Structure 1
Amino acid sequence: MLNFKLAFRTLFRAKFVTAVAIISLALGIGANAAIFSIFNQMLLSALPVQKPKELVNISAPGPKPGSQSCNQAGDCEWVFSYAMFRDLEKMQTVFNGVAAHRLFGANLAFGGQTMTGEGVLVSGNYFPLLGLQPALGRLLSSNDDQKVGESPVVVLSYPYWTTRFGQRADVINQQMIVNGQSLTIVGVAPAKFEGTTLGSTPEVFVPITLRGLMEPGFEGWANRRSYWAYVFARLKPGVSIEQAGTGLNVLYRGVVNDVEAPLQRGMSEQTMTRFRARQLRLEPGFQGQSSVRAEAGSPLKMLLGVTGLVLIIACANIANLLLARAAKRSGEMAIRLSIGANRAQLIRQLLT
């Protein structure tokens, strides 16, 4: 305790050295903490869902003649036609289920107040496949996407429910307006869940079969040349990604060659050969889907390295300051040795 009291008195007398040390450490540690928090969220954290390691994202590299609509969930290799998504749903030999989703811009109105936000169009098995439970009411289910344009319901995100509705329980079964359409609020998503697209914080979740109402003019339900739905699946227990890919592609090639290839037109023979040879690619989906991760991964790693270097430099500067202080106190240490202090006591005083 005596050493600590002496250390505090010494620090108080050397105000400049103390201030430089504290500021250097604060800047170095603060910068590293901030960058690592972003790094962890974007590159390391798993989705707050049940058994995220079983999730896989599905893409189909290769020619996609027709219209392609991509967003921050990933580039156009990752989008499928709605009809192909329904085909994949039926290929249940390696999956416990398949789900689709897509972000959309949402104009929200409730109780006379409006705001602009973001929504997610999701298939009926989106929430069940993720193993999520509602914070209030119910989540969307397979009963909500049986027919195009039906089931006008909406699930609120937990942050939106908190900020806009003050966590009121009586919002269930009330009407709100989303992109000009009156939808019934049926539930609230779990507190920590903000969708499966990194960087997106949606306010609402809407059945995917309402896309034509959320985005007027869309009519690409049966069009196999209209690619817009992002798809992920949950592996069956004990099935690896490699095994799932092999089994799934056997079925997928049949659909491509027997159903989709005859619909293509205006393609060269070489392109048609590549089209018929397309295969699905499966990648780990425990972090969700996002083009942001691929774009920001390298810069974030570099930035983390730079901030780490800044912290090392700050520590080196503090070490030099302390060495200079120790050299300045050499006379004091000699006197303490002469009056009986041992080396261990002197070291404790220098380190405290």
Structure 2
Amino acid sequence: MWDIIAPFLPGSGPVRSAFTAGRDQPVQKKGFAPVFGRAAISSYKMLPGDLSTSGETSLTVIRLQMVIMSRFADIFRDCFKRYAANHMFSADRKNPLYESITQDWTILRERDSLTGWMNEPLLQAFWAEVHEKWEEWFNQEYLSVCRREALSRNLDPEEVFVQGNWLNKSPVTDEEYLHKDPGSRPITGARNDAFATFRLQAGITSSEMFWVLGVQVKAVYRYRSRGKIRIEAPTSILLRYFMSNLNDLNYFLEQPPSGTWLLQKIMGIDPAFKQSQLSPLFGSTKLSSYNFAAETHSCPHFARRLASIFARELPHEPQIYWQIRECVEDEVRARGLDVKTFWEEGRWNG
């Protein structure tokens, strides 16, 4: 993570990295934590040593880092596909080292092997373009959110990027809130309830919201109990980012398939499967199966995550249906119920 974003940190100046040549002035690691809403001194805990694979951090900060890495991965993937289409020799196209099957940020771990077919001039041109696009997104999208967060706290963004002093414990007055630019208004636990607004805008459940923000339920209630006090900076940055970039939620929460699609795929695998068994397979009762399978209905909340897993894994793991079914039947037995009766009656209670 550090090696990739170091060239783009505020005030970093010239940097030697895996992606740029002729830049040899190192960046101080204390500039790492502030862009995630943490104090500069926390950088040394988040980046404890060159041999460490992970430092001390919070789930919310990890979510912020995943946003950056996922966006960088998309840029890398798009550029790589274009360069491969335009410059790769036909013989190299058959080499598995030059083809990635990963669809997430982990493609960046394969960057050296994937670009192994490029000669030096082409490689430098490739990384120059990727680097330029990374820098453009990081400055114009991500850091702009951080700057708006600093302004919402009545702080100088550039000073915050140096010191990481994000704290402002002063209550937000009505006058202060209304006179702020809409994009840099403070986010508090009570003011227009940003959590509820975000959940409704994103069309997600409360549990999905807690997970994607990396917060516990008690943390949200604590924010609400503090009324006009600003929420913690990392959570506020992430919430502010998602409210401006709802599509990036797809990095964390895949869009679930419809019940119609699920039923069609499952019946193709198991012809004996009945429509009335659809909801029981995903943890609900027989009565809700018909609405679940209706073309006019979206995937119900109780099935969203498991349905997404099914859709994601089916192309690579055709046994996913039978694996889910086995888990369902294990749960049925654990509740002291008869499996045959369960599939007939679709009830989780005896």
TM over 0.5: no
If each structure's strand is expressed as a fraction of its own residues, which one has the higher value? 1
TM range (shorter): under 0.3
